[in-house]
Structure formats: C-alpha cells, structure tokens
C-alpha cells in the first residue's frame, strides 16, 4: 500500500466544513486522496488558522466573533 500512497500528491484535495450554531462557528477539515488504484481515502487534519480567520470574516463579518 505504501507505493500506492507515495505517488498521489497531485491527487490530494483539502476540504473544510464550517458550521455555525448557538455556541459559535466550528471547523472540520480533511484531506481527500485518490490512490493510484482509484480508491479514495479521507483523513482528518487541523484547520489552518488563516483559513479559520478568512471563513470567520466571511460568515461573521468584520468582527469575526460570531457571538463568542
């Protein structure tokens, strides 16, 4: 399986989900990797702080607080 994983750098995509509820804005990020055999693998990853800030500003406005 190592050889399938090692040559996939051009087939990897980061996805971030943002959810806004009564307790604030929540983030969940993952990377989706298409292996050489066609299978798709997803792995959870931390959301970059710059991405959190950009999404917060877009969703919550200039104050980026979203009620927190």
pLDDT of amino acid 38 = 86
The larger pLDDT score, comparing residue 38 to residue 44, is at 44
Cut 0.85: pTM above it = no
- pLDDT over 90 for what percent of the chain? 50
Residue 27 burial (CB count, 10 A): 15
| Domain interval for residue 18 | 2-49
**Is position 24 within any domain?**
yes
**Is position 42 within any domain?**
yes
**Is position 62 within any domain?**
no
Give me the number of domains the chain comprises.
Answer: 1
- pLDDT confidence of 1, banded at 50, 70, 90? very low
Distance CA 55, CA 11 (A): 24
């Amino acid at each position: 399986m190592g050889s399938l994983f090692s040559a996939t750098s051009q087939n990897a995509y980061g996805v971030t989900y943002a959810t806004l509820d009564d307790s604030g804005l929540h983030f969940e990020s993952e990377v989706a990797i298409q292996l050489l055999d066609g299978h798709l693998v997803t792995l959870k990853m931390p959301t970059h702080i710059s991405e959190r800030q950009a999404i917060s500003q877009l969703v919550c406005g200039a104050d980026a607080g979203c009620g927190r």
